[in-house]
Amino acid sequence: MAGKRRRAGKPGAATPSRTALGNDPFVRGAAPRVVAAAPPPPPPPSPAPAPAPTPSARALDVLGLLEARLDAAIEAAEARLASAAGGGGQAVASARDEVRAVVAALWPAVRARLASAGDLLRLLEPPERLDRHGMDPRLVARATPVVEALYASWWRVDVRGLEHVPAAGPVVVVANHAGLLPWDALVLRHALRRDHPARRELRPLLDDAACDRPASGPLAIRLGAVRASPEAAARILAAGDLVGVFPEGSSAEARPWRERYRLGAFGRGGFVKVALRAGAPVVPCAIVGSEEAAPAISRAGWLADLLRLPPRPSLRVAWLGQLPLPSRWSLRFGPAIDLGGAGPAAAEDAPLVAGASARTRAALQAMLDEAVASRTSVYL
């Protein structure tokens, strides 16, 4: 049969009539459908509940209650004071006078403490004016009490041999160096400004590695340090001031702990050339205590050095080097190095410069050995 296919059914069975939905349960013999009664009318709407109080409203309620309680307490206290004044006004007046006397006695000390704290906070203010080398005179003045506390109380610095530093004229002070931060430069500068009879002004010369270190480099420059260069040293010496030179540079920071106070190479004698051109004496200064003020854990390879193992990458906690320990410091100024009466032209004489540099290093090493051997305690 073309185009049509007829479904086969049982012979003689009646075919049920198809409903609109095609799945009427009554055809399958389901229970009669019960017509549901109409739903009751909905109850009248109840009033909407009041919104919950917001946190700010609750806080205002609590504050109002607290304010009421405080008012009540104050009123009660005023009533008691009035009653006491009525029966013994002389006692109340005496207590008032005592309170005023205590406040008057304490106020100067409190004001001084507040002023000191304000000075410390003002250390972070931007500079008002800088000199040609980057020093901020206002910051130097405000930091002086802090430096003095470190110098006199924390490190208990002992200075000797200041008579070897001339009272006037240019001088090149050559010292040893230690630590991640230039604490020794700060101490050397403060010692000459504080303890020298002429209150000499010294400007420490720091290499590029120290000046470019974040935070500490710019702060050291604002406190009086100068980025090392022949031109900067010549200008300072020409003004009749002192320069502090650390010929080892930042390489001294990697010195093993067991080799502390053992001087490294002094480079090519640049400080000798500067001194010859300016006609300035070269005065060595041995600084003892700076090595112990910088924890050994701040150095690279400290663990291998402690265990006497071959150098290899090891733990380094550099920030610990910025926390100075309370070691005892000593500064020893020695006699000026003999330059043989050479003039500015001798700065181009390489053998003479090398010889003067070697003599300075030998004299400074001998002073360090003597100072280390003569000290009785490192921290006490």
Q: How far is CA 63 from the centre of its chain?
A: 41
| CATH number for 254 | 3.40.1130
CA distances from 61 to 17, 55, 56 (A): 76, 10, 9
Q: Is 14 exposed, middle or buried (0-12, 13-18, 19+ CB in 10 A)?
A: exposed
Going edge to edge, which strands form the sheet with 158-160?
158-160, 330-333, 282-288, 171-175, 242-245, 202-206, 226-227
Q: How far, in Å, CA of 118 to CA of 110, rounded?
A: 12
The residue written with tokens 């303890």 in the block is 195
Is position 123 within any domain? no
Q: Whole domain around residue 212: which residue ranges?
A: 162-374
The residue written with tokens 């207590």 in the block is 95
Single-letter residue type at 170: P
Instruction: Check residues 215 and 57 and name the one with the higher pLDDT.
Output: 215
The residue written with tokens 């070691």 in the block is 327
Quote the number of domains for the chain: 1
Is position 26 within any domain? no
pLDDT band with cut points at 50, 70 and 90 for residue 18: very low
Condensed to tens digits (0 to 9), the pLDDT of residues 86-143 reads: 554 554 455 455 445 544 654 565 455 445 545 555 666 677 788 899 999 989 988 8
Condensed to tens digits (0 to 9), the pLDDT of residues 256-309 reads: 778 889 998 898 899 999 999 999 999 999 999 998 887 654 555 544 555 555
Is position 229 within any domain? yes
Is position 41 within any domain? no
Q: How far, in Å, CA of 184 to CA of 293, rounded?
A: 10
Percent helix, strand, coil in the chain, to 5, is 50, 10, 40
Is position 81 within any domain? no
Residue 307 has a pLDDT of 52
Is position 170 within any domain? yes
Q: How far, in Å, CA of 64 to CA of 62, rounded?
A: 5
- Round the average pLDDT of the chain to a whole number and report it: 76
Say if residue 25's pLDDT is above 50. Answer: no
Does the global pTM surpass 0.85? no
Is position 183 within any domain? yes
Is position 211 within any domain? yes
Name residues whose C-beta falls within 8 Å of residue 334's C-beta, 6 or more positions apart in sequence: 161, 164, 283, 284, 285, 286, 363, 364, 367
- ∠ CA 18-24-26 to the nearest 5 degrees? 110
What Rg, from alpha-carbon coordinates, does the chain have?
44
Helix axes 137-149, 183-195, angle to 10 degrees: 90
Say if residue 23's pLDDT is above 90. Answer: no
- ∠ CA 142-147-150 to the nearest 5 degrees? 145
Query: What one-character DSSP code corresponds to residue 151?
Result: I
The residue written with tokens 């001194």 in the block is 275
The residue written with tokens 């349960």 in the block is 25
Residue 316 has a pLDDT of 46
